[in-house]
Amino acid sequence: MTGRILIVEDDASLQEAYALILRASGFEVDVADNGLAALSYVRKYSPKLILLDIYMPIMGGIEFLRAYSSIRHGEVKVVVFSNLSDRNAGQELIDIGADKIILKSSMSPKDLVELADDLIGSSGE
């Protein structure tokens, strides 16, 4: 059994796409629409991987990371799905706890599965 993945993404179609791809590869996936919902989630559950969007209503990815740093525990990887305009914030994101920053539009379904496999173990296991 692989670890649980939390997808934090406000765009419903992307959220669904990521969830479909990862579930099809055997991952257990939960979703949150924004940073605040994600914070409630991580207070109850301990995902192995968080895929985090930056621009979201109510609470964005950066604000989530700041709030999350104080309650983060265990082996949790946070991958920020950034876009080009976040480029200057790259180092800041690493500083506040992002493990990896990935250009969202460059990632194919195959890449997404490989990424999850790399970080939390093969989906086939």
Partner 1 sequence: MKQITTNNELLSQQSIDLANAMPLLVWACDSEGYITFCNQKIVRYAQPFTHLRDALGHIHEDDVQTTRSIWRRARKERKPYALQHRLRMRDGTYRWHNSQGNPILDENGLVVKWYGTSVDIDETKKFEQEADRQSALRRLISQNATLGLIILDNHFYCTYINASAEKIIGYSAEEIYLMNKPLHEIIHYKKPDGSAHPNTHCSTKHSLTRWFERTEKDDLFVRPDGSFYPVSYIASPINEGGYVVGTLIELRDMTDARQAEIEKARLHLLDAERDDLLRLNKIKDEFIGLASHQLRTPATAVKQYVGMIIQGMAGDLADNQLRLLKTAYESNERQLELINGLLKTAQIDSSTYVLNRELCDITKIVKDAVEAIKPSCDYKKQVVVYRTSMPTIHAVVDPTEFKLVVSNLLENASKYSHEKTKISVVLKENRNSFTLRVKDRGIGIPEDARERIFDKFKRLENELSKTVSGTGLGLYWVKQICELHGGSVSVKSQTGRGTTFIVRLPK
Residues 84-103 that bind partner 1 (CB under 8 A): 84-85, 87-88, 90-91, 103
Nearest to partner 1 of 40, 91 (CB atom): 91
Nearest to partner 1 of 46, 123 (CB atom): 123
Residues 23-82 that bind partner 1 (CB under 8 A): 24, 55
How many residues at the interface with partner 1, by CB under 8 A? Answer: 24
Nearest to partner 1 of 42, 56 (CB atom): 56
Shortest Å distance, C-beta 104 to partner 1: 6
Nearest to partner 1 of 43, 110 (CB atom): 110
Shortest Å distance, C-beta 36 to partner 1: 20
What is the rounded CA–CA span in Å between residue 40 and residue 101?
Answer: 23
Find out whether 68 and 97 touch, Cβ atoms under 8 Å: yes
What is the rounded CA–CA span in Å between residue 5 and residue 39?
Answer: 14
Find out whether 74 and 46 touch, Cβ atoms under 8 Å: yes
Q: Which parts of this chain interact with partner 1 (CB under 8 A)?
A: 11, 13-14, 17-18, 20-21, 24, 55, 83-85, 87-88, 90-91, 103-106, 108-110, 112
